[in-house]
Structure 1
């Protein structure tokens, strides 16, 4: 029974951490209270802000007794932004929390042994790791705001510097900020609402980790913006690494950031970067992993788990632009990549060609349909790699994999809950989970990636 009242303050003992990093308290009656910003072992004061039948949310007001792993968040807008939900605890604790989350999911959802989950592979420097930033541009009470949306709103938290983004992006945004003010460029978001008179929607900056090449994208609600020549001169004079400045046209009143129409204002229509020894072209709409250091760790682990000798045929389901496919091609006889997004497959074919990879073939379509078609034509894989979106694999694909009976499955996941569900399904179809390796792709946040090795039980 719920004994808590909305908008009243209570004292709580924090017993554990939730999947988003929030502290979890229980009343004597077993009623659950989630308190963002609180840590296990702390005594806190919180105001109840949301009440449901079986749980409620509290707003942290005061930490009465601190946990030894609490630290002062280095970001000045940490509380308002909400993006880095774990910045108030040590990095060592963050890695442990992520391992525990994966253990909890594969145990409770998948019914598997939690000891299969290895310690999280973290970063030597867990800041300034992102190679892409996308910042909304708005006006709040007559003042220009460039930063990130506050949680569950279109109110922009002004962020002159973001500690998980590349430092070059901070410098570029500072130049654009002055240019907007000087030329009276109209932001698209005004007091949390879309403006019909608005011109500039977002600023996107991408930087090649190994090439140092920089792309700047102005996302606009109109096909032209005043004074872009002036901005180009300022940006290129200040930063010689800028190789591409693009105007992206997005007139739709939508939360989707990029439109489909690009105009090159300066330089090339792409920049390049490397993952391992492979070179990739990156356009404004290209998907490319945002943490290049940990991407090599993740893909290296996937290649290790695949256990290739040069004689194997490999299926790469949800292959995207072919990044994992190219990694696998180094040690496979043949790789077949499948992806539903046509432009991604075009990029994958181009990436294979640019890297002189001739043992990878790519198909457009749903992995759930294309892979069974390949199997019906007599193409069978020794190893299957899946890297699905957050919702996990389609059941038809899991059934097709089970029927084909490859020796090994390597599952790359961005969501431990759907991962655990899918592992349980595959275990019912003749596979045994060997090990689960969490990789910290997004330090300071609650997100976690995993690489899993499954073997066929004969």
Structure 2
């Protein structure tokens, strides 16, 4: 097919229209840019949707650049390395705006973009370990498949993480039982790469010499602060259906992560924002210039926003399902950590008289949902800050918030995930 790429959509593919043929419909083509002319090979059809790949690039966009990673296009991790960074930001802005408008949201505030260094930003990576060509290798999955892809680099990861992974592969040669049992590893580093936490995900429990393995790693990786091992109950299934049981621990159970003037204790395996260059900016957008009597931080995690809010509010309530890390980070007068789901907390809160002046919420990708939006609408909180990592669920929830009386006052696109289609937004709503 000869195609003209019209635009890029969420997920990273360019789209074109195939008209006037038996197979007429929308064609999705990865690794293309608006305005490009291509010859494409059809891969699959599903109703009016067709998926294709680039057979030949006839006319390239001026925004096209050479990818930095040798695995780009085969690896499932990145979608935008073929676009200049300015082009990536422009594409993400257009995608966010169109997604919001499609949900019926009009009179949008201007989208402000916040960006930083687009490479070596990830403070956490999770790698699969597998024998390949007779040697233990680390890697990811091939794009659109469950097939293992051994890698030689990962330029979006903090350099120390891939260095540590290569050393681990070398050290595991002396620990064959651990090499055989390890399915995946997760590496997490602090803001300045001064400390590393390592987690092994195992198919079975190998020999009882975990401390010996970790001490051997420490000789080669002096930044190693701690390590843990977990046995996966359902090996071979996708992570969504896996349950891992901790069985071994060595060293510290987490590390201290500095963000601006604050230091947070982040336990091994706990959620933390992945972009080490933009976390401070995200915190500033969500909390800066706000103060008063009472604020609620919903989906509080380790207390990233709660700690900063507590400087300017007399009382801050931080809500998280499991408050282990939150409790460690959020103690003292005027600070209250609540172990509950946001929905449980809000259901109870609407029955009580206390009303916050500010709500900050940073939910997972699924968003907050209709009932949470409805309960917040009943509370009539003057200002709500919604931090989101998915424009589709954000649009759905913002539609609910606007219908309950809120108006979007600010809209920030924070590029926490350069080279990928993912995007983070901060929306400020006021009544």
CA distance in 1, matches of 2:266, 2:245: 15
Contact residue 266 and residue 325 of structure 2 kept, 8 A? no
Number of equivalences: 425
Instruction: Report whether the alignment pairs 1:51 with 2:32.
Output: no
Counterparts in 2 of 1:297-376, with a 5 A limit? Answer: 297-304=281-288, 307-309=289-291, 311-339=292-320, 341-342=321-322, 345-353=323-331, 357-376=332-351
**2:243 pairs with 1:255:** no
Cα contact 2:272–2:301 (8 A) shared by 1: no
Counterpart among 63, 77, 93 of residue 69 in structure 1: 63
Q: Tell me how large the CA RMSD over aligned residues is.
A: 2.1
CA offset at residue 86 of structure 1?
Answer: 0.3
- Matches of 1:143 and 1:131, distance apart in 2: 27
In 2, the alpha carbon distance for the partners of 1:401 and 1:346 equals 26
Query: Which range moved further: 175-184 or 369-378?
Result: 175-184
Aligned counterparts of 1:211 and 1:78: Cα–Cα separation in 2: 25
- Give the match for residue 19 of structure 2: 28
Distance 1:358 1:260, change over 3 A: farther
What are the within-5 Å matches in structure 2 for residues 51-450 of structure 1?
Answer: 51-114=45-108, 116-123=109-116, 125-140=117-132, 142-181=134-173, 183-185=175-177, 198-210=180-192, 212-225=194-207, 228=210, 231-253=213-235, 254-256=237-239, 259-265=244-250, 267-304=251-288, 307-309=289-291, 311-339=292-320, 341-342=321-322, 345-353=323-331, 357-450=332-425
The answer (yes or no) to whether the contact 1:411–1:452 under 8 Å persists in 2 is yes
Deviations 1:268-301 (A, max 9, x none): 2222112222222222221111112211111110
Q: Give distance in 2, aligned partners of 1:329 and 1:49.
A: 54
Q: Give the drift of 1:377.
A: 2.2
Q: How far has the Cα of 1:140 moved from its partner?
A: 4.2
CA distance in 1 between counterparts of 2:17 and 2:112 reads: 28
C-alpha contact (below 8 Å) 1:219/1:250 kept by paired residues: yes
Counterpart CA distance in 2 for 1:332 and 1:325 is 10
Q: Deviations over 1:99-145 (max 9, x none)?
A: 1111111111142234x14232111x211111111101113464533
Whether the aligned pair in 2 keeps the contact of 1:314 and 1:334 (CA below 8 Å) is yes
2-side partners of 1:67 and 1:211: how far apart? Answer: 37
Query: Shift of residue 183 of structure 1?
Result: 4.5
Q: Which residue of 2 aligns with 1:4?
A: none
Distance in 1 (alpha carbons) for counterparts of 2:178 and 2:2? 47
Q: Deviations over 1:390-428 (max 9, x none)?
A: 121122221111111111111111111111121121111
- Structure 1, unmatched stretches of 5+, are 1-9, 188-197
Superposed displacement of residue 216, structure 1: 2.1
Give distance in 1, aligned partners of 2:362 and 2:125.
23
Q: Deviations over 1:222-268 (max 9, x none)?
A: 33347756643442222322221322332422333772314223x22
For the residues of structure 2 that align with 1:91 and 1:294, how far apart are their CA atoms?
16
1 CA distance for matches of 2:2 and 2:124?
41
SS in 2 for 1:293: coil
The DSSP-based 3-state class of the residue aligned with 1:260 is: strand
Contact 2:233 2:243 (8 Å CA) reproduced: no
CA distance in 2, matches of 1:274, 1:60: 44
Contact between 1:278 and 1:326, CA under 8 Å: does it hold in 2?
A: yes
TM-score, structure 2 as length reference: 0.93
The CA distance in 1 between the partners of 2:396 and 2:91, in whole Å, is: 20
1:12 counterpart residue number: 3
The TM-score with structure 1 as length reference comes to 0.87
Alpha-carbon separation, structure 1, partners of 2:85 and 2:361: 29
8 Å contact kept, 1:96–1:119: no
Aligned to 1:190: none
Mark the runs of 5 or more structure 2 residues left unpaired by the alignment: none
Write the deviation string for residues 420-455 of structure 1: whole angstroms up to 9, x where unpaired: 121121111111111210100011000001111111
